[in-house]
Amino acid sequence: MVSARTEAGVRLGFYIGLLGFIVLLGDIGNSLAALAAAPPIATAPALTAVLAWAVGLAFVLEAYLAARREERASARS
C-alpha cells in the first residue's frame, strides 16, 4: 500500500514535469529560430522548461524510492 505522502509526491512531480514539457514544446521552436540572433537569451526559456521537467522527475523519483522503502519495511515486519 502506497502512503498518501508518496502518492502526493508522484502527483506533484508528474504535474511539474508535465508543465515543464509543455513549456519546452512551446518554446523549442522560438528558441531554435532565435538561436542564431542571441544565443544566451534564446536558450533561456528552453533551459527553464528543462529544469522544470528535471525537478518534476526528481519528485517522481523521490516518491518512487520512498514507496520502495515502504515496501521493504512492510516486508520485513
List, run by run, the mean pLDDT of 10-residue segments along the chain (77 residues).
74 77 70 62 65 78 82 83
The H or E element containing residue 41 is helix 39-76
Assess if residue 31 is contained within a domain: yes
Q: Residue 7's pLDDT is what? A: 78
Structurally, how many domains does the chain consist of?
1
Q: Residue 4's pLDDT is what? A: 76
Q: Residue 10's pLDDT is what? A: 76
* Domain ranges, residue 47: 4-72
Q: Residue 36's pLDDT is what? A: 59
- CA atoms within 13 A of residue 44's CA, in its CB half-sphere: 4
Q: Residue 52's pLDDT is what? A: 74
Measured CA to CA, the distance from residue 12 to residue 64 in angstroms comes to 12
Q: What are phi and psi of 37, to 5 degrees?
A: -80, -45
